[in-house]
Amino acid sequence: MGDATSTNTSAQSNGKDNGKLSDLHQPTTFITGHNSSGQAIVQSYNPFQWRPYDDNNLAFAVPYTTSRCPPDLNNDADLKLHQSLISTPDKLGLVNPKGTVLRCVDFAPGYACGMHRTQSLDYGIVMEGEVDMVLDSGERYSLKRGDVAIQRATQHQWVNKSDTKWARMMFVLQDCEPLVVGGKQMGEDLGTNSGLPPSNN
């Protein structure tokens, strides 16, 4: 069984924090594939690459994306699409049209992001800390480590409840068909999340 210090020559790694703002563990992405005999291998492993937002109160890392459904794994087509997309990060909004985004988010102590909505079906898992999910209806729920929020194109806000500790969530955002409620299309609304490009989905 391998670990992050594996000497597998087909894998690549470095130990830098790569822009991480928080004092939380630096995660590693392990990408698997196959050798010439059809056996499973780790093709690469690398620490998350982080981008700061909102005066360093928020940091995003995007370990992987897909750009079609279902993804095509033949000849590393999915990996090539991901590498192409991630090499131009200013083009990637919160959602990847026709695909998915795996995004890790670190929230500074006491930080509250702006109320926002994505045109997507999202799985949000609390990894570290305790985070309030606030909805535009006024409902508010406290999510602890391991709790999961299924966001269905709703207006919401995340609030780190701790005044001293960073919090972390992992999200899988999936593009969805336009949602219409009461005759109104519930499209993307980035609210006060300045610095993020539109998803254009």
Question: Is 89 a residue whose pLDDT tops 50?
Answer: yes
pTM over 0.85: yes
Q: What is the pLDDT of residue 8?
A: 45
How many other C-beta atoms are found inside a 10 Å radius of the C-beta of residue 168? 22
Cβ proximity of 166 and 160 under 8 Å: yes
Locate the domains of the chain by residue range.
48-177
Q: Name the band, by pLDDT with cuts 50, 70 and 90, for residue 2.
A: low
Q: What is the pLDDT of residue 90?
A: 83
- Burial label for 24, CB within 10 Å (0-12, 13-18, 19+), is middle
Half-sphere exposure of residue 70: CA atoms within 13 angstroms, side-chain side = 3
Find the range with the poorest average confidence among 7-11, 15-19, 54-58. 7-11
DSSP code at position 182: T
Fold of 48-177: Jelly Rolls (2.60.120)
